[in-house]
C-alpha cells in the first residue's frame, strides 16, 4: 500500500474536491453521457437526467451486491492444496512451505479432515517475533539475541504449533463473507471443507482479488 487512501483521512480534513465516492458512484455517469445516450435513442424518453442517474446508481449497487453474492468459495478456491499431517516434523513443514512458495498449510488427518492450519505467523510467534509478530519482529529479536532463533522449535511437530481449530468455509460460502472473515480474524487464507469437514480446497486473499467473475465484470 503506497499511499494513504482518502477513506482513512479524518472527515473534516477532506476538501470537497478530495471526496472519494463509493464504488457505484465512482462508475457514475455524467449528465452529458446520459444526454448523449438519450439523443441516440429515438423517441421521447419520459425521464429526467437526474432520475436516470439515480436509477443507474441504485441499480449499479444492486448489481455489485448480486455479483458479490454470486461468487462462492468453490468458484475461486485452489483445489491443489499443499497439506501436512499432525505428526509432520516442523523442519519438513518449513521445507514444504518454502519449496511450494506458500505461506500457510492446512493440517489434515488421514481421512482429509482439517484439524488446524500452520502459517508463517505460527512460526514467527515461536521464534520470538516481537511487536506485530511479523518477520521484522524476528529480525529485531535476532539482532538483540544470539544464535538461531528457530532452534527452540527444531524438534517439534506440526501439531505443536498449528492454530487449531482452523477457521473453515464451505464451497458455497460467498466471497463477500470470506472477505469479512479474513478481516475479522486477521487471516489471509481459509481451508474450504465439505459437509463432513474434509479438505477440498483453500481460498487466499489473492484468490479473491483475482476472482475471474469480479475482474471480468469490472
Partner 1 sequence: MLKEYFNKMKGTTKSPPAVSLAEIGWSWVGAFLGIAAVASLNYKILENSDLVLIIGSFGASAVLIYGAIKSPLAQPRNLLGGHIFSAVIGVACYQLLGSHMWLASSVAVATAIAIMHVTKTLHPPGGATALIAVIGSAKIHNLGYLYVLMPVGLGALIMLLVALLVNNIPQSRRYPEFWF
Nearer to partner 1, 40 or 111 (CB): 40
Q: How far is the CB of 57 from partner 1 (least distance, A)?
A: 14
Q: How far is the CB of 38 from partner 1 (least distance, A)?
A: 5
Q: How far is the CB of 31 from partner 1 (least distance, A)?
A: 6
Q: How far is the CB of 28 from partner 1 (least distance, A)?
A: 14
- Bridge partners (DSSP) listed for residue 157: 89
Q: How far is the CB of 117 from partner 1 (least distance, A)?
A: 53
- Bridge partners (DSSP) listed for residue 72: 174
Nearer to partner 1, 49 or 159 (CB): 49
Question: Interface with partner 1 by CB under 8 A: which residues?
Answer: 31, 35, 38-39, 42-50, 53
Nearer to partner 1, 27 or 35 (CB): 35
- Residue partners of 136: CB distance under 8 A and separation at least 6: none
Question: What is the rounded CA–CA span in Å between residue 89 and residue 155?
Answer: 7
Q: How far is the CB of 41 from partner 1 (least distance, A)?
A: 8
**Burial tier of 115 (Cβ tally within 10 Å: 0-12, 13-18, 19+):** middle
Do you find a cis peptide bond into 165, omega within 30 degrees of 0?
yes
Buried (b) or exposed (e) across 196-205, using 16+ Cβ within 10 A? ebebbbbbbe
- Bridge partners (DSSP) listed for residue 174: 72
Nearer to partner 1, 32 or 87 (CB): 32
Instruction: Write the CA distances from 92 to 78, 85, 88, 155, 203, integer angstroms.
Output: 22, 10, 7, 11, 23
Nearer to partner 1, 38 or 102 (CB): 38
Nearer to partner 1, 30 or 132 (CB): 30
In the numeric block, which cell numbers belong to residue 60?
A: 449499479
Nearest to 53 by CA among 39, 68, 73, 32: 32
Amino acid at each position: 500500500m503506497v499511499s494513504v487512501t482518502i477513506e482513512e483521512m479524518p472527515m473534516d480534513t477532506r476538501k470537497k474536491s478530495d471526496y472519494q465516492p463509493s464504488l457505484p458512484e465512482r462508475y457514475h455517469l455524467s449528465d452529458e453521457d446520459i444526454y448523449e445516450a438519450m439523443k441516440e435513442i429515438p423517441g421521447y424518453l419520459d425521464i429526467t437526467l437526474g432520475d436516470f442517474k439515480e436509477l443507474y446508481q441504485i441499480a449499479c449497487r444492486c448489481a455489485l451486491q448480486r455479483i458479490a453474492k454470486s461468487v462462492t468459495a468453490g468458484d475461486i478456491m485452489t483445489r491443489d492444496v499443499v497439506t501436512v499431517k499432525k505428526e509432520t516434523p516442523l523442519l519438513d513443514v518449513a521445507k514444504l512451505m518454502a519449496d511450494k512458495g506458500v505461506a500457510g498449510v492446512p493440517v489434515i488427518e488421514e481421512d482429509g479432515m482439517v484439524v488446524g492450519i500452520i502459517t508463517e505467523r505460527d512460526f514467527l510467534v515461536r521464534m520470538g517475533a516481537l511487536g506485530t509478530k511479523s518477520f521484522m519482529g524476528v529480525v529485531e529479536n535476532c539482532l538483540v539475541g544470539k544464535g538461531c532463533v528457530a532452534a527452540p522449535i527444531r524438534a517439534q511437530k506440526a501439531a505443536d504449533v498449528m492454530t487449531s481449530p482452523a477457521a473453515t468455509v464451505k464451497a458455497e460460502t460467498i466471497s463477500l463473507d470470506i472477505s469479512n472473515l479474513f478481516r475479522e480474524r486477521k487471516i489471509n487464507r481459509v481451508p474450504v471443507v465439505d459437509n463432513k469437514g474434509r479438505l477440498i480446497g483453500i481460498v487466499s486473499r489473492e484468490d479473491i482479488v483475482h476472482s475471474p467473475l469480479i475482474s471480468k465484470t469490472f
